[in-house]
Structure 1
């Protein structure tokens, strides 16, 4: 009877924890070697850098690599009262992996299905995760015990699928998509990793292998395509040292930020975690102002289920570096539509979890919002993009 009571307590504790986490994302791949764990680790870090409270759970029991990728492989998780303390990567990111239970990181784990299922549930019930906005789960390749346990234990978990452009990888992705359909998991989208090669000399991306297979597959299955991440030799070296993309300035970091923007948009999230889209448009004389920093007011609308439910005009504080992005974040804005915005302001927006769409043409607030919601925005050059020049174009 005592054992039953103990199991009931664990189950109740797990259920209560999962109810408090608004967003659970399992990172899947049909086959190994596609960079799934790298994507999971970077997604967790980038979300945490934007102010979200994130837990990263590595359930790849036989081939755990999160600790190695993040440079914390020698860390341990210890009991505190009746719970385990996760490894603290930063003030916003907590990490748990089987690696942290091993005496030697190279030790092999030889467990059958029931034992693996038990340790995964223990990581959900017996770890002091605290309050989280996101739980990112790095699952092993394929459709075996670990992803099935997550699917059955966390029915509202979403799947993020990682592939490479090659046919063999895409064929395995179809199996992952079939798995998600069978266990009723919503697919958040597909990321095509190792898509092209970043030249170390000029920084251009070259398609040395095939490219675009992931986007075609996304179209075929009518799911979101979240982006193509190329190979960069510098990042490969940094990864071996336990350094992730947030420590690196370059094309791949920029792309990863765009991937995170798309995920947040897909979830309709702002920094506070509220499921509402709050769109800001800089205005002057009743129309969209081409220059973000020179507007008279911001037209701000709330959108729920694709419909405008509130509209207001707010006067921003005096323009100075960093002031308006922080002010918009305080207004809980999560999308800005503008004619132009400089790279520094765009980076500040990203850090505040705000998506920026530049190159938007003039018009009334109603016209701009309707075009955005109906997918009819016609975008030109970013008129404030001093770094890239007048020819740089952002597409929505």
Structure 2
């Protein structure tokens, strides 16, 4: 959510920030509504003052035994007028709030210009794609040949964009999630958290998923939402609170199922499990003081990178351009892993600093020296477990179709060093 006072102070800067995202100016329309609201509030105050005076006059007239019928008729008219002004001011405030809620976060000055992912900037690359002495296969080819990745059964149960994993591949996915949590909690100080998979409108709105992303989420018949990511319950856990600054930063992590309708993705990544309606992800969330959020963004991204480095998967860090940065983010780093079967870099983590954008929507603050101040919130994948499974399968595949288990995962696999069709 945007600060209306900042919009009033510099509408040109507000529109310039929207223009960076390719959006039309909005300041004039919002300020016109704000002026109408303020005028309604001013008129309301005047009418309330008149009603107070009139109430006093009626009381004095009754004490004097005078006829108060005319005064009481004026009081009724004032009451009706006040009710109308209250309703108008409330309606205008709602319209302004809805208008602001539809607008994305302001971008950090360091975000490069550009319309789409083609303008993203590679900041670094760690590791080189492995040279295979054979033509590497894609994950679904490997998984189906092993008899451990079952798409027909998933389609029978749930439809397209679901996967049934079996045997050692199912265990490998579990091992990845456990490994990630152990690193993030044991080495980086994140607090492991079990979160609800169903949340209410307030939690979705506060984390900028509503109204913008309603079509990309699943809603239950009782009006709750299946979480698109554990970012939602983790971040919304501080909604409405005034935190002790000494508790910050708060660092939380959760391994959860995530659910996305993938609206608008028809025809993209149809084969395999790159783009699923249900997937597992280890989420990282930080709640910080404003002056610490930039450093926390770097730290969070390095935590996610550490997982890829321990797994020895080549990756690169991308700074997303203006046209590719998400709705709620001021700045985003994407980590892209090399998938040998696809012969392409694919996103495996996205780490974003939302500054106070989410905090304003959910009224999350800390106790500053001069009163409550909005916190900054950050979120990132540490990592997307399903996509990491794909990267491990394709990176560690052998010519005979087996998959070597990375050394750091073997303790979670009962010592298993290689996954074969025999188990």
Higher relative contact order (CA 8 A, sep 6+): 2
TM-score by length of 1: 0.26
- Kindly indicate which of the two structures has a greater share of residues assigned to helix: 2
Query: Highest Rg: 1 or 2?
Result: 2
TM-score by length of 2: 0.24
